[in-house]
Amino acid sequence: MTPVSIRPATPDDIPAVTRIYAHAVAHGTASFELDPPDQAEMLRRMRALLDGGFPYITAEIDGAVAGYAYAGPYRPRVAYRYSVEDSIYIDPAVQRRGVGRALIMRLIADSEQRGFRQMIAVIGDSAQTASIELHRAAGFRMIGNIENVGYKFDRWLDSVLMQRALGPGATSKP
């Protein structure tokens, strides 16, 4: 199997990022968006996160973008400033090849280096077993399930909440 390499994402990755995300929006429940955003919107979102000091990374296999991940603000209020929410999207052609694991481990490390203390996973749909297990393997614990909170593909969807401490977590002041 070809190794997965992880690097910081750049605006040059936007076409691949947009394509991967569009597939997730149109065919899956990882995102509760109903209409895939265009490249301009995806670039705006990337720049906002990078300008805010959040990690945004890309996975490559054989020089092609295989997935991407980023950490963003968990909530906008200032008291949440040390907590981030992770997002991970994988090209469907390379799922189950270790891309998600490589991305989440690097995202955790990059978030710790930036001084964040908690990472929250908000997983769309309690049937997303692969995402739940990926997070569990990366040290996340289940903290809750918000039932029937989203409606997509003519059905109600849950949101699964998982959490992981980063660095010293809450054992010391930031």
Phi, psi of 167 (to 5 degrees): 55, -130
Question: Is 159 part of a structural domain of the chain?
Answer: yes
At what angle are helices 14-27 and 39-51 packed, to 10 degrees?
110
Range of the domain at 67: 5-165
Whether 16 contacts 46, CB under 8 Å: no
Which pLDDT score is estimated for 139? 98
- Going by pLDDT thresholds of 50, 70 and 90, the confidence category of residue 2 is confident
Contacts of residue 19, defined as CB under 8 A and 6 or more positions apart, other chains included, come to 91
Question: Is 34 part of a structural domain of the chain?
Answer: yes
Question: Is 120 part of a structural domain of the chain?
Answer: yes
- Going by pLDDT thresholds of 50, 70 and 90, the confidence category of residue 162 is very high
Coil, strand or helix at 156: strand
Length reported for the chain: 174
Taking the CA of residue 168 as centre, how many other CA atoms within 13 Å lie in the half-sphere pointing to its CB? 6
Range list of H helices, the chain: 14-27, 39-51, 99-113, 129-137
Question: Is 33 part of a structural domain of the chain?
Answer: yes
> Is the per-residue pLDDT at 44 higher than 70?
yes
Cβ atoms within 10 Å, residue 80: 14
Question: Is 98 part of a structural domain of the chain?
Answer: yes
Q: What is the mean pLDDT of the chain?
A: 97
The domain that holds 96 is classified in CATH as 3.40.630.30
How many domains does the chain fold into? 1
Question: Is 170 part of a structural domain of the chain?
Answer: no
Higher per-residue confidence, 17 vs 2:
17
